[in-house]
Amino acid sequence: MDETVFHWQELPEAERFACWRDMACGSHAPNVVDSEQADDFRATLRVLGLGPVSVFALTYPALRSDRTPRLIRRSDPEMYNLTFHQRGRAGAVHAGREIQLGAGDLMLSSTSLPLRTRMGTEHEPVTMMEVLFPQAMLPLPRGAADRLLTLPFSGRAGLGALVAQFLTRLTTESAACGPADAGRLGVVTLDLAAALLAHHLDETTPPEAHPEALATRIHSYVRQHLGDPGLTPRRIAAAHHISLRTLHRVFERQGATVTAWIRQQRLDGVRRDLTNPALAARPIHAVAAAWGFPRAADFTRVFRAAYGMPPSEYRRLGVGPGRHGPHP
């Protein structure tokens, strides 16, 4: 698993603050950050790379952070940031709202909007965790989660507690995870975040308009059964006690069809496994079968149509997400 660690004890006092700031903010969404304790900045930082999802575990003294309109115009990765406050107080102004957060609170923010935060006090540092993920990957209708920006969620009970406990265990047990686990853990992390957000969208949406929660449940179900060749729209609809027509409407809202979405999820899984060094000895037909492609010839045809080359060449070239080569 890709992991980056910062310890303040390992650097001279004069370099600590700038190094921590660059690691915490510079890699994804630049902020203007300053601290009255910059001359003796005692902070820690761990970053877990889970494919397109990143998990940050941070401790630091009081500081101020501003993501300004100018910085957004210069660089916007279009990410959501789900923050879990474990210790300390924080205030934020974002998306036209102002919020005060304490231990056990969660909050969603967006790199696409200005954000001003004031974290910690002179006598109380901050301990927190962040989940950073692309907005486009959230399995909810585009923009739906924006309704939840800067609203406090409790991490002490219900789904919030489940998310908080998972993140805590993820960072404490990461040493036991191998490179092949990173992508899978990224999917789990994103699914949990989506479930939490869909739950709160349910609470803020009239009963007649709950497509987000249904879409999240369906996506989670499909991901759990991708290896089953018998996964069909009819079976998915039956498992959720809805009609086929309703199922197709859920996916139409996202600009996709049920069959195309399932096929793309399977292809994405195959792509990750084909470029995973730990699976280099596994036959291609076995990789494909594990993701729900039981017929080798059909799989090769679909793969070639999607990526412009047969899977054997894809594996040989080591082409994968984030590298140069064909993309869906």
pLDDT tens digit sequence for 3-27? 888 877 888 888 888 888 888 876 6
pLDDT at 325: 40
Q: What are the angstrom distances between the C-alpha of 203 and each of 32, 144, 223?
A: 35, 13, 25
Q: Show Cβ contacts of residue 262 under 8 Å, excluding neighbours closer than 6 positions.
A: 222, 226, 231, 292
Query: Which has more confidence, 321 or 231?
Result: 231
Nearest to 272 by CA among 288, 295, 293: 288
Class of domain 225-317: mainly alpha
pTM, two decimal places:
0.64
Backbone angles phi and psi of 84, in degrees to 5: -120, 115
Give just the sign of the alpha carbon dihedral 29, 63, 43, 86: negative
Dihedral through CA 59, CA 66, CA 27, CA 269, nearest 10? 90
Domain boundaries, the chain: 2-175, 225-317
Q: What is the pLDDT of the chain when averaged over all its residues?
A: 88
Q: How far apart are CA 32 and CA 55, in angstroms?
A: 21
Tokens linked to 45:
């930082």
Three-state DSSP at 83 gives strand
* pLDDT class of 199 with cuts at 50, 70, 90: confident
Task: Please tell me the distance from the alpha carbon of residue 74 to that of residue 31, in angstroms, as a whole number.
Answer: 11
Task: Determine the Cα–Cα distance for residues 171 and 325; give it in Å rounded to an integer.
Answer: 32
DSSP single-letter state for residue 275: T
Residue found by looking up tokens 């990765």 in the block:
77
Quick one: average pLDDT of 41-49? 90
pLDDT recorded at residue 142: 77
Q: What is the mean pLDDT of residues 211-222?
A: 83
The pLDDT of residue 204 is 57
pLDDT at 215 over 70: yes
Q: Is the pLDDT of residue 197 over 50?
A: yes
- CATH pick for 2-175 out of 2.60.120.10, 3.40.50.1000, 3.40.50.2300, 2.40.33.10: 2.60.120.10
- Place 211 in a pLDDT band, splitting at 50, 70 and 90: low
Beta-carbon contacts of residue 252 (< 8 Å; ≥ 6 apart): none
Map tokens 């919030």 to a residue: 160
207-229 mean pLDDT: 79
> Residue 210 above 70 pLDDT?
no
Give the pLDDT score at 206.
44
Q: What is the pLDDT of residue 322?
A: 42
